[in-house]
Amino acid sequence: MNNIAILSDSTANLPTEWVEQYAICVIPLKIHWGNETYLDGIDITPEEFYMRLPNSKHLPTTSQPSIQDFLMAFENMADEGATGIVVPLISSGISGTVDSAQAAARQFTRVPVEIIDTRITSMGQVMIILASARAAEQGASLQEVRQAADEVVKHLHVFFAVDTLEYLHRGGRIHGASRYFGTALDIKPILFINSEGKIDALERVRTKKKALQRLIDLAEQQANGRPVHVGIAHANVPQAAQRFRGEVEKRLNCKEIFTVEFSPVIGVHVGPGTIGIALYSEY
């Protein structure tokens, strides 16, 4: 009998109800703030993080889980009866987490492990995790669960708007968006995750209101009238995210829609005020 377990990382900020419903194991990334180190989502919540960030003289840094962290997680899951483990993780283009997991998987022989580079994070990663978990719940094999995840990875589109590129610049995650750095304060870059799983710039829009409308335009173009699964993420702007979601529901044929908050590790890099949308159509 197949008992495929799902392991992911904290940057997805997966809602608790889904963690519990599908028995998903979550491995935290780390935040280094001065002399202190926090486990993402465990030692520091998004609320605590965003409250502290504006008053901090130094921007925190982040790091991936260690090889040993992954080995311990694999051991625990095997002990609990997993016959295989599927591991959808934050993009290798913005984190070394996949490298740690792959190194651990090479050392682990008790049950087979499939590492998936989602080439995304946050709300997009949630969608890939859900596809994996739902397939596993239905008794799918290890490769079938992996295939369910890979299909979403192939069809996923992600767009987001930041209030400022300052955080991405200071965190070294700006890549192709650097050409927009230092533009006027009322210019809001529309960003996306490219095929390499890196943050890139799509275009510039004047004012945050127009930027959010542009995000919906882009999502609508990708949906092309088809039913879509939609994920929305925000960085400490729940009311703006709620209004944004309402507009999305008016314009898109949403088969499923959810909202999450960017985890503290992602918040380090995108900064407060960021709103993003991820979607994939039925295939």
Mean pLDDT calculated for residue range 116-143: 97
Sequence letter at residue 140: A
Which residues sit opposite 190 in a β-bridge?
A: 161, 203
DSSP per residue, 121-173: -HHHHHHHHHHHHHHHHTT--HHHHHHHHHHHHHH-EEEEE-S-SHHHHHTT-
pLDDT tens-place string over residues 181-235: 444 456 788 889 988 898 888 888 888 899 999 999 999 999 999 999 999 999 9
Q: For helices 122-137 and 142-155, give the axis angle rounded to 10 degrees.
A: 150
Look at residue 117 in the predicted model and tell me its pLDDT: 97
CATH number listed for the domain at residues 4-27+65-154: 3.40.50.10440
Look at residue 174 in the predicted model and tell me its pLDDT: 53
The residues spanned by each domain of the chain are 4-27+65-154, 157-281
Look at residue 182 in the predicted model and tell me its pLDDT: 46
Rounded to two decimals, the pTM is: 0.92
Three-class SS state of 27: strand
Mean pLDDT calculated for residue range 228-245: 97
CATH number listed for the domain at residues 157-281: 3.30.1180.10
Q: How far apart are CA 196 and CA 8, in angstroms?
A: 20
Structure tokens that stand for 47 in this block: 């609320």
H-only helix segments in the chain: 16-21, 46-52, 67-79, 97-107, 122-137, 142-155, 166-170, 208-223, 238-251, 264-270
Which residues sit opposite 171 in a β-bridge?
A: none
Mean pLDDT calculated for residue range 94-108: 97
- Closest residue by Cα to residue 122 from 283, 282, 281, 269: 269
pLDDT tens-place string over residues 17-68: 999 999 999 999 999 998 999 999 999 999 899 889 888 888 899 999 999 9
Whether the per-residue pLDDT at 109 is higher than 50: the answer is yes
- Closest residue by Cα to residue 184 from 212, 167, 200, 207: 207
Q: How far apart are CA 59 and CA 148, in angstroms?
A: 37
Whether the per-residue pLDDT at 273 is higher than 80: the answer is yes
Three-class SS state of 199: strand
